[in-house]
């Protein structure tokens, strides 16, 4: 069970920063300038709202009264990290951690805008569309100026700090896929003991790095979350059809075969998804 205390939060942060400061780590070159000042450790820790310990100190989703009392102001145009709590139609809770330089705009004009979600497909938004209710919690805010950055607080430095802050929060709340989380959690920290399912599929510390080749959908196929497996199968089949469906001429037979196979995959995955729903309803 994921219980967040000040001690556990600081242990996860210190372990993460230790990995990023390791010269042998692939992220070291990108983050070394912003993390060279050891005061960053303490300052990052202070960015986390103390209400987070109150809400998640018991290893379960906060009740509605706690969310209203401690959730924070989503209308404030602050830079920082937020949490999206989503209750699925299957009764399961799913969590997503995100970042923004203007959280009010990101939440209201993007996440709460169905047209934006329609045009920017993701596993996160797929879960939103299959939900009964959702809400947001402000986890951390980055003030201005940033005292710990001796070389200044330019936009690039703020972006990297946001990445670290988001990664830290995602690790604490177990919103990363297990294969990713276990690479950055301290030894002995359980990966899959939370009472909710994770929605983050891309590593926050890779955000903004154009050299990273993302194979994020592959992390979902072995998930214990049936919705994640269904999304993975649907995503792969649609990409397969996009690749072969438009071919003509000598590749027309391959196009038909690709579309046919894609149809089979979608049909089987949809059948599997419906079967699990009816199984839950009538069991």
Domain identity same for 107 and 235: no
Domain identity same for 11 and 45: yes
Percentage of the chain exceeding pLDDT 90? 61
Q: Is the residue at 139 inside a domain?
A: yes
Q: Does the pLDDT of residue 260 top 70, yes or no?
A: no
Domain identity same for 71 and 190: yes
Q: Is the residue at 1 inside a domain?
A: no
Count of Cβ atoms closer than 10 Å to residue 219 Cβ = 22
Q: Is the residue at 221 inside a domain?
A: no
Domain identity same for 92 and 43: yes
Domain identity same for 252 and 200: no
Q: Is the residue at 103 inside a domain?
A: yes
Last residue of some domain: 214, 246, 274? 214
pTM: 0.82
Domain identity same for 171 and 245: no
Provide the pLDDT for residue 255: 38
Domain identity same for 134 and 240: no
Last residue of some domain: 172, 193, 214? 214
Last residue of some domain: 186, 214, 242? 214
Domain identity same for 85 and 124: yes
Per residue in 78-111, pLDDT tens?
Answer: 999 999 999 999 999 999 999 999 999 999 999 9
Domain identity same for 113 and 238: no
Q: Does the pLDDT of residue 269 top 80, yes or no?
A: no
Domain identity same for 202 and 234: no
Q: Is the residue at 219 inside a domain?
A: no
Q: How many domains does the chain divide into?
A: 2
Per residue in 57-77, pLDDT tens?
Answer: 988 899 989 998 999 999 999
Percentage of the chain exceeding pLDDT 70? 77
Q: Is the residue at 220 inside a domain?
A: no
Domain identity same for 144 and 253: no
Domain identity same for 64 and 97: yes
Domain limits for position 266: 226-282
- How large is the average pLDDT for residues 131-135? 96
- How large is the average pLDDT for residues 34-50? 90
Per residue in 204-236, pLDDT tens?
Answer: 999 988 887 666 667 888 899 999 999 998 877
């Amino acid at each position: 069970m994921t219980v967040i205390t000040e001690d556990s939060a600081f242990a996860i942060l210190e372990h993460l920063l230790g990995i990023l400061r390791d010269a042998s780590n692939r992220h070291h070159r990108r983050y070394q300038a912003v993390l060279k000042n050891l005061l960053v450790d303490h300052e990052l820790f202070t960015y986390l709202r103390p209400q987070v310990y109150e809400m998640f100190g018991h290893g379960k989703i906060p009740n509605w009264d706690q969310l209203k009392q401690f959730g924070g102001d989503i209308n404030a145009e602050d830079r920082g990290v937020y949490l999206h709590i989503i209750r699925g139609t299957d009764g399961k809770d799913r969590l997503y951690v995100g970042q923004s330089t203007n959280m009010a705009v990101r939440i209201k004009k993007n996440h709460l805008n169905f047209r934006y979600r329609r045009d920017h497909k993701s596993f996160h938004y797929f879960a939103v569309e299959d939900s009964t209710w959702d809400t947001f919690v402000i986890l951390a805010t980055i003030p201005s100026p940033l005292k710990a950055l001796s070389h200044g607080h330019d936009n690039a430095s703020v972006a990297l700090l946001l990445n670290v802050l988001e990664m830290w929060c995602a690790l604490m709340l177990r919103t990363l896929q297990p294969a990713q989380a276990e690479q950055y959690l301290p030894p002995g920290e359980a990966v899959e003991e939370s009472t909710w399912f994770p929605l983050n599929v891309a590593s926050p510390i890779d955000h903004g790095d154009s050299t990273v080749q993302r194979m994020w959908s592959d992390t979902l196929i072995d998930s214990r979350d049936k919705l994640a497996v269904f999304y993975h199968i649907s995503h792969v089949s649609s990409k397969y059809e996009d690749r072969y469906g438009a071919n003509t001429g000598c590749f027309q037979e391959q196009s038909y075969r690709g579309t046919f196979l894609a149809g089979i995959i979608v049909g089987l995955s949809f059948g599997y998804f419906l079967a699990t729903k009816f199984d839950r309803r009538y069991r």
